[in-house]
Amino acid sequence: MFLRDLWYFGALSSELKPGQHLHRELLGQPILFGRDHQGRAYALKDICPHRGILLSGGEAQQHGDETHVECPYHGWRFRTDGSCAAIPSLTADQAEAMDLSKIRTRAFPVHEDQGLIWIYYGAEDSGEPTIEPPKLDMPEGEKPRMIITDVFNCSVDHAVIGLMDPAHIPYIHRQWWYRTKKSVRDKEKAFGPIERGFSMLPHTPSANSFVYNLLGEGRTTEIQVQIPGLRTEYIKAGGKHITIFTAVTPTNETKTAITIAIYWNHPLLNFVPRPILRLAGETFLGQDRDAVNAQQVGLAYDPNLMLIHDADVQAKWYFRLKDAWTKHRDTGEPFRNPVKPATLRWRS
């Protein structure tokens, strides 16, 4: 159901305070995100191996230079690598006779950068990353300046293809400040493969969008899509950037979390009052959410679906990338990106 051996977006740096726990469901699994006393993020399967209560309900404690997660039920303590450090109910001789290191909850590799916390989902419990964590192409040290989140009541695939699909824009996102019914016209965009994904190659954004026209001269935009469900829009003008990163993360089979992190040093967004920017972003994403949620009513009848040329070719690529990644992991053969350079045409 879910792609493995990939980095998934797990949480925002700003959500994780030292000594606190964050419970989240990712890929149908309960995950505890924490930050140790040295400030390093960690992620554990949020289930106590003793009797199954969520570990995130317990305390993060400092023991020497280690951080331990204390289970709220019987106080068993776990290191940030998942190994059991203590079982308080054991007498001294019982503790001596027992090998605590055999007791563990799964620990996931974690990487934190650019205000984002990534978690590596290996197929095996002990799976070490075989690929580098994603990194946005931005000046060093940038942090998100606005975050917009939502939850779609659909599978990750419908969320991903719903967000990348160009043909819905004049219908779902019809609004005076972005697109109107009259602004629909022929589009032609060049695409090419990138690492584990594809890019709508840098181009001058379409003149039928009022907002893009405010960016000024020399503006280019590029949209990158990568598995497992990462979309990054790079807008550049006059040496400055606006970068809109969207993580589409499966909560479980019927729920998908959307997190949009917006970074910029382009002055345009400084002139837009934050509440208006937020309202615009939430409105936009809310329209996508309402569309995919409404779609679930029809999908419940398991209809046959179609993907057409050229408007749905990006969706086809997404499915082909998933298949190619699964094949690569199953067979051990090198991953071959199935996307070839192409120019796609549609009306939107």
By CB under 6 A, name the binding residues for ligand FES.
Answer: 48, 50-51, 53, 71, 73-74, 76
Q: Give the one entry of ligand FES, Fe ion, none that residue 257 binds, where binding means its C-beta sits below a cut-off of 5 to 8 angstroms depending on kind.
A: none
In the complex, least distance from residue 292 CB atom to Fe ion, rounded to whole angstroms: 9
**Can you tell me the distance from the alpha carbon of 23 to that of 251, in angstroms, rounded to the nearest whole number?**
12
Which among 121, 49, 38, 42 has a CA at the least distance from the CA of 84? 49
**Residue 143: what residue type?**
K
Query: How would you list the strands of the sheet with 197-203, edge to edge?
Result: 146-152, 255-264, 240-252, 230-237, 220-226, 197-203, 186-194, 342-347
Which among 96, 135, 101 has a CA at the least distance from the CA of 9? 135
In the complex, least distance from residue 81 CB atom to ligand FES, rounded to whole angstroms: 17
Q: What angle do CA 146, 149, 152 make, to 5 degrees?
A: 155
In the complex, least distance from residue 49 CB atom to ligand FES, rounded to whole angstroms: 8
Question: Do residues 44 and 32 make contact, with C-beta atoms less than 8 angstroms apart?
Answer: yes
Report helix, strand or coil for 271.
helix
Q: How many helices (H) and strands (E) does the chain have?
A: 7, 19
Q: Give the one entry of ligand FES, Fe ion, none that residue 53 binds, where binding means its C-beta sits below a cut-off of 5 to 8 angstroms depending on kind.
A: ligand FES
In the complex, least distance from residue 46 CB atom to ligand FES, rounded to whole angstroms: 11
63 vs 347, which CB is nearer to ligand FES?
A: 63
In the complex, least distance from residue 74 CB atom to ligand FES, rounded to whole angstroms: 3
Question: Do residues 345 and 308 make contact, with C-beta atoms less than 8 angstroms apart?
Answer: no
Q: Give the one entry of Fe ion, ligand FES, none that residue 346 binds, where binding means its C-beta sits below a cut-off of 5 to 8 angstroms depending on kind.
A: none
70 belongs to the binding site for Fe ion (CB under 5 A): no
In the complex, least distance from residue 173 CB atom to Fe ion, rounded to whole angstroms: 6
288 belongs to the binding site for Fe ion (CB under 5 A): yes
5 vs 288, which CB is nearer to Fe ion?
A: 288
Cα 291 to Cα 15, 173, 347: the distances in Å are 28, 10, 20
78 vs 120, which CB is nearer to ligand FES?
A: 78
- Which residue stretch of 78-86, 103-111, 287-295, 324-332 sits at the interface with Fe ion (rule: CB under 5 A)? 287-295
Which among 69, 123, 78, 71 has a CA at the least distance from the CA of 102? 78
52 vs 275, which CB is nearer to ligand FES?
A: 52
Size of the site for Fe ion (CB under 5 A): 1
36 vs 288, which CB is nearer to Fe ion?
A: 288
251 vs 348, which CB is nearer to Fe ion?
A: 348
103 vs 277, which CB is nearer to ligand FES?
A: 103
